[in-house]
């Protein structure tokens, strides 16, 4: 509802993922798909979105969810990876995530704060009291789905999808 009541504005140099008056949703695959679905033919190339206050709340929710799903240490993503793959592999994935976030900052400088916070978070998660039981396939599937949601929120839109959606 909030995104459908947002207005389309011309894309400017100040447009980005942190400018709520001129948000460029192309920095997030999920946000781009939702914007195209809600705004339809109004959302084309060279446009940004002036978010409605309800859409701002939804956008902040997406940002917080993406941060919490990072597979590092004591964040929910870290717990998911630890449960699915074990503590040692979870720690390795946490270190890889840190490195990838540092590289992603080169593409999206707005993510610098996230990268700094993740850099100083502990990689090791406290082991569970019952760390012996394996997850069943359904729970593994839910964990993969949660990590796919993270990827869809944080990764920018590939060029082929922008051409397909005509944005």
Q: Tokens for 69? A: 């799903």
Average pLDDT over residues 117-141: 80
Question: Looking at residue 116, what is its pLDDT?
Answer: 92
Q: Please indicate, yes or no, whether the overall pTM of this predicted structure exceeds 0.85.
A: no
Model confidence at 19, in pLDDT bands (50, 70, 90)? low
Q: Tokens for 26? A: 């192309």
pLDDT at 11 over 90: no
pLDDT at 92 over 90: yes
> Which range, of 46-55, 66-75, 111-120, 157-166, averages the lowest pLDDT?
157-166
Q: How far apart are CA 80 and CA 69, in angstroms?
A: 8
Q: Tokens for 82? A: 């630890």
List the one residue out of 69, 73, 68 whose CA is nearest residue 122: 73
């Amino acid at each position: 509802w909030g995104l459908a009541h947002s207005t389309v504005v011309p894309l400017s140099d100040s447009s980005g993922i942190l400018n709520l008056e001129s948000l460029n949703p192309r920095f997030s695959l999920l946000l781009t798909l939702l914007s195209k679905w809600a705004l339809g033919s109004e959302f084309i190339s060279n446009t940004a979105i002036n978010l409605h206050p309800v859409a701002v709340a939804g956008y902040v929710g997406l940002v917080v969810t993406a941060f919490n799903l990072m597979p590092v240490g004591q964040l929910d993503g870290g717990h998911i990876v630890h449960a699915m793959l074990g503590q040692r592999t979870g720690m390795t994935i946490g270190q890889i995530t840190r490195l990838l976030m540092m590289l992603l900052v080169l593409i999206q400088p707005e993510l610098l704060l996230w990268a700094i916070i993740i850099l100083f978070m502990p990689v090791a998660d406290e082991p569970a009291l019952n760390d012996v039981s394996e997850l069943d396939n359904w729970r593994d599937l839910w964990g993969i789905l949660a990590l796919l949601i993270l990827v869809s929120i944080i990764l920018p839109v590939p060029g082929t999808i922008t051409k397909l959606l005509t944005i």
